[in-house]
Amino acid sequence: QHVLIVGHPFVDIWQAVKPSRLGIAAWPTVPRNVSWKHGVCQRLGWPHRDQADIARAWQPILSKVSSYADLEPTLLGRVEELIDFVTTGHG
């Protein structure tokens, strides 16, 4: 009664950032047998050789997020569910 588990449809939290914020129409499709972040970086022409490259890729993505409006509504709905759960009586 004091635990709520919610999910979201994103492969990775990067995908919750609206692609238009990065100047792309959609996040690249990455085959299941490829690490999603590595595949995204490769398809966007970003360095992706090692974990340091992947970590650096987050910075330009994060820099494009300045408000909730820059995130996909599906993620925001899950966050609102969690906020409601912890701020209202639920048991």
Query: What pLDDT was estimated at residue 4?
Result: 86
77-88: average pLDDT: 88
On whether residue 7 sits in a domain, the answer given is: no
CA–CA separation, 40 vs 28, rounded Å? 6
Query: What pLDDT was estimated at residue 7?
Result: 86
Query: What pLDDT was estimated at residue 9?
Result: 85
Which residue segment(s) compose the domain that 62 sits in? Answer: 13-87
On whether residue 3 sits in a domain, the answer given is: no
On whether residue 50 sits in a domain, the answer given is: yes
Render pLDDT for 5-54 as a digit per residue (tens, 0 to 9).
888 888 899 999 999 999 999 999 999 999 999 999 999 999 999 999 99
**pTM of this prediction exceeds 0.85:** no
On whether residue 32 sits in a domain, the answer given is: yes
Q: How many domains does the chain have?
A: 1
CA–CA separation, 9 vs 7, rounded Å? 7
